[in-house]
């Protein structure tokens, strides 16, 4: 659900990580207290957007495209690195990588930032979309609006789309070699990414030559916590097989009563038709499909992405 284009970077001791309006928030977990990193941009008492990044284990950095669009619209927003990611603490006990615990983490962040229902919105992209759905199912009483960006409400359905639609369109010989490397547990082999970048990433993750990918995207993916990502997403980039493999909340979307925007993209790893059905399932669902976009449509169909997002957020009043 995100790109495996780099390794893990430890931010420990970087003083500049906490400057420029950023704030560390202490959270409680079953293993004690840790700190997560947030940063506020803008000031709007009626509209505050918390950004939930993908991965799991990526960072807030690929959201930096928002700086070019949300401030001009007067939208206050918060960068946030989830526990185990980016500037936040990096505990090593894998029992912490549990979806319900991540939901409680988001709620603690909301409380610490003083985000209340009259202004509080959440945008979750990719894995962040899973987290946003789960948060809304438990804590929607605190939400003014919700955005599910580039994520389906079912991992089995996501896997079926990869198996039945995306893979048959790939070169059979190349796909076979990728699958052989995965079966052998040899995904660290440079050949794996050499094959995946042109056949998958440049077609379905961000539609431009990899050498021309925006710097914030490359930086974010180079900082990914690979252990966390693999544990929850699984080792394959062509589907999910980790701890999230059985996650399915499509039927429960009827319980989310807050206004919700579902963002799809024609070339995404996520099925646009399924995402349209998600919007219909949501009592106050809205749907937009970006014709030139892929998984990171905030870059490859940028103007439409932010036009749609800003219109939805500003329309909540």
CB atoms within 10 A of CB 7: 12
Tokens of 33: 């207290």
Helices (H), 166-315: 172-183, 190-196, 215-222, 226-233, 272-281, 297-300, 302-314
CB 97 within 8 A of CB 31: no
Distance, CA of 1 to CA of 314 (rounded, Å) = 28
Tokens of 295: 């998984």
Distance, CA of 91 to CA of 228 (rounded, Å) = 10
Distance, CA of 196 to CA of 203 (rounded, Å) = 10
Residues belonging to the active site: 126, 268, 295
Tokens of 180: 């052989």
How distant, in Å, are the alpha carbons of 87, 132, 136, 237 from that of 84?
Answer: 9, 18, 22, 20
Spell out a b/e string for 58-82, using b for 16 or more CB atoms within 10 Å of the CB, else e.
Answer: bbbbbbbbbeebbeebebbbbbbbb
CB 232 within 8 A of CB 242: yes
How distant, in Å, are the alpha carbons of 29, 80, 122, 168, 170 from that of 108?
Answer: 10, 12, 14, 43, 43
């Amino acid at each position: 659900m995100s790109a495996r284009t780099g390794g893990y970077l430890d931010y420990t001791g970087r003083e500049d990580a906490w400057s420029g309006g950023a704030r560390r928030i202490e959270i409680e977990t079953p293993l004690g207290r840790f700190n997560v990193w947030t940063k506020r941009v803008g000031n709007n008492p009626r509209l505050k957007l918390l950004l939930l990044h993908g991965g799991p284990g990526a960072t807030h950095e690929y959201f930096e495209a928002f700086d070019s669009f949300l401030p001009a619209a007067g939208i206050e927003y918060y960068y946030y690195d989830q526990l185990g990611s980016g500037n936040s603490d990096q505990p090593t006990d894998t029992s912490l990588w549990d979806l319900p615990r991540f939901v409680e983490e988001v709620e603690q962040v909301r409380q610490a930032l003083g985000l209340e229902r009259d202004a509080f919105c959440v945008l979750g992209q990719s894995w962040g979309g899973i987290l946003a759905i789960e948060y809304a199912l438990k804590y929607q009483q605190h939400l003014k609006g919700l955005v599910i960006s580039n994520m389906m409400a079912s991992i089995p359905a996501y896997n079926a789309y990869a198996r039945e639609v995306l893979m048959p369109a790939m070169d059979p010989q190349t796909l076979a070699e990728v699958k052989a490397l995965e079966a052998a547990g040899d995904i660290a082999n440079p050949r794996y990414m050499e094959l995946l970048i042109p056949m998958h990433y440049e077609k379905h993750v961000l539609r431009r030559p990899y050498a021309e990918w925006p710097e914030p995207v490359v930086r974010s993916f180079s900082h990914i916590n690979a252990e966390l990502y693999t544990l929850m997403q699984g080792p394959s980039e062509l589907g999910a097989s980790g701890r999230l493999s059985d996650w399915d909340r499509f039927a429960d979307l009827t319980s989310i009563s807050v206004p919700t925007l579902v963002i799809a993209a024609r070339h995404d790893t996520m099925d646009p038709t399924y995402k349209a059905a998600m919007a219909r399932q949501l009592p106050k669902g809205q749907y937009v499909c970006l014709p030139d976009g892929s998984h990171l449509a905030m870059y490859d169909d940028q103007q439409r992405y932010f036009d749609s997002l800003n219109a939805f957020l500003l329309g909540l009043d």
